[in-house]
């Protein structure tokens, strides 16, 4: 998008780790799983993602990352402002 600003940052999700609640925010989001496996809870849906998987979504819908696995995961998150 013209004149849109993107912000990227790595997120480490420990084994068994999760955000306590799903939260929406303005903009769009792109995830790249760099190591391990995670689950993204997005509204009423869940997406299981493994190393190398990507997902692009509208961040206005409540969402959170969850790692129900026995090893930590690393995800690169990219936010695109609307």
Residue 1 pLDDT greater than 70, yes or no: no
pLDDT of 12-49, one tens digit each? 999 998 777 888 999 999 999 999 999 999 999 999 99
pLDDT of 39-49, one tens digit each? 999 999 999 99
pTM of the model: 0.86
- Mean pLDDT across the stretch 68-82? 92
What would the DSSP string read from start to end of 9-74? EEEEE-TT-B-SS-B--SSEEEEEEEESEEEEEETTEEEEEETT-EEEEETTS-EEEE--SSS-EE
């Amino acid at each position: 998008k013209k004149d849109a600003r993107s912000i990227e940052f790595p997120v480490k999700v420990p084994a068994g780790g999760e955000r306590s609640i799903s939260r929406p925010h303005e903009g769009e989001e792109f995830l790249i799983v760099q190591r391990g496996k995670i689950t993204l809870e997005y509204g009423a849906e869940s997406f299981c993602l493994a190393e190398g998987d990507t997902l692009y979504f509208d961040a206005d819908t409540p969402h959170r990352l969850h790692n129900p696995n026995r090893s930590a995961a690393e995800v690169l998150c990219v936010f695109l402002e609307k």
